[in-house]
Amino acid sequence: MRYGLSCKKCGKQMAFKIRETKCSCGGTLLVEYDLEEAGWTLTKENLKERDTAMWRYRELLPIHKKENIISLGEGWTPLVRLHRAERTLPLQKLWVKREEQNPTGSFKSRGFSAAVSIAKEHNIQKVTVNSNGNAGSALAAYAGHAGMEAFIFLPQDCPGIIVEECKHYGAHTFLVDGLIHDAGKIIVDGEKEQGWYNVGTLKEPGRVEGKKTMGLELAEQLNWKFPDVIIYPTGGGSGIIGMWNAFQQLKQLGFIHGDFPRMVSIQEKGCQPIVNALESKEAFKPRTHGVRSSPTGMRVPSPPDGDLIVSILRQSGGTAIAVTKDEIQQGKAALGSYGISSSPEGAATWAGLIHLIDQGWIRPTDEVVLFNTSHALKYLPWNQHHLPVIRDYQEWVKLT
């Protein structure tokens, strides 16, 4: 077998199963590859000949048959250097990874290309996700391309253009009175009865594996070097988990040496579970009441494995900070002035960068990468949809 599962907490290994993501010890199961076998065909030389898309790393993605790959051209996004910003900050090397250029306008395209491909390989017909928006529209697009039926549950204050986007791709789209975890509860209550395949964060293997390609790609674009610092807007955490996994795999493959990047999670004040957990030094405790932050991908009060995210930040020598709405606004203007259209999440990484430079945590000699995870236009005001708002699974059943 080319790949199996391995527990990030106790190290237990087992055969690959699509719905198995939690070990009996409570730890998260991630896909583990036979890297020796992967290395027979995945070489730095061979990569030069391959498509500039995420599936160039197919040996490190859990798909057996090429014909099951559902691709809309995701990945291999530009890494753009902000020379003019470097002079004013001061910083020697500042890059922006332009994830907003993915097919669905956010890096969620990567995770859903992988997840929907895996679903296809296992003959799944109906897929569902709870989302703050971009996961929903990504699932809608990839399910559409694959010919699957998609059911999407979004908080009622989800940015309207993203709701429209989900409908545009033909998904059954529902607004929920509550936050992302309330939407998730509807799915859990209905998945057996409805035969849904849950593509929520860490509910299946594909989303982390797809996001892992951001780490592989970043290292390759920097000519097989790690940057010093990666600043990433964090919600459910699959990006941090995936990229960290990518860096381990690249080292084990012998593609890259040297220190791992310091990973920084950015959240918005008013919903900052990762920041709190990192500061408290206690085990991760989700808190779902009193959430006051804006409806963005960072608003995840109860990520499925907060301890794993925190342990990665610690191991990497990284940190986490919460920034204000105003700082996010300023970040958007700053990135905009350098020609980058940034979503609130992308803008938050700029706000975090400024804090960390002011604190001296980022030094002028550090090479820094900001992840611009989506673009500004998806978050413009829009209020034309007329969807009913549901509270729970019973209401959903009545509605449909």
Ligand X SMILES: *Cc1c(COP(=O)(O)O)cnc(C)c1O
Shortest Cβ 240–ligand X spacing (Å): 6
For residue 210, give the nearest of 358, 337, 60 by alpha carbon: 60
128 is in the binding site of which of Zn ion, ligand X, none (Cβ under 5 to 8 A by kind)? none
Q: What CA–CA distances, in Å, run from 48 to 42, 51, 143?
A: 10, 9, 30
DSSP-derived letter for residue 22 is B
Shortest Cβ 343–ligand X spacing (Å): 5
Each residue 321-360 as x (binds ligand X by CB under 6 A) or -, in order, gives ----------------------x-x---------------
Report the distance separating Cα 370 and Cα 230, nearest Å. 6
Give the residue closest to ligand X by C-beta.
297
Per CB under 6 A, the list member of 238, 249, 272, 342 interacting with ligand X is 238
- 109 part of the interface to ligand X, by CB under 6 A: no
Query: Taking phi first (over 0 means left), then psi (-120 to 50 degrees means alpha), and beta for anything else, what does residue 26 get?
Result: left
- 134 part of the interface to ligand X, by CB under 6 A: yes
Token pair of 290 as six digits: 């009193």
Report the distance separating Cα 293 and Cα 282, nearest Å. 23
Strands (E), the chain: 3-7, 13-14, 29-33, 79-81, 93-98, 126-130, 149-155, 172-176, 197-198, 229-233, 262-268, 319-323, 367-372, 389-390
Q: What CA–CA distances, in Å, run from 19 to 29, 165, 387?
A: 10, 27, 31
- 239 part of the interface to ligand X, by CB under 6 A: yes
Shortest Cβ 126–ligand X spacing (Å): 22
Per CB under 6 A, the list member of 21, 104, 106, 319 interacting with ligand X is 106
Report the distance separating Cα 371 and Cα 310, nearest Å. 19
**Partners of 149 in the beta sheet?**
126
Shortest Cβ 218–ligand X spacing (Å): 14
Our CB check for Zn ion shows the closer of 7 and 230 to be: 7
233 is in the binding site of which of ligand X, Zn ion, none (Cβ under 5 to 8 A by kind)? ligand X
Per CB under 6 A, the list member of 205, 215, 233, 318 interacting with ligand X is 233
190 is in the binding site of which of Zn ion, ligand X, none (Cβ under 5 to 8 A by kind)? none
Our CB check for Zn ion shows the closer of 25 and 389 to be: 25
Our CB check for ligand X shows the closer of 235 and 331 to be: 235
108 is in the binding site of which of ligand X, Zn ion, none (Cβ under 5 to 8 A by kind)? ligand X
| CB contact set of 62 (below 8 Å; sequence gap of 6+) | 3, 16, 31, 114, 118, 205, 206, 209
Which stretches of the chain bind Zn ion, using CB under 5 A? 7, 9-10, 12, 23, 25, 27
Contact set with ligand X (CB under 6 A): 106, 108, 134-135, 201, 233-239, 297-298, 343, 345, 373-374
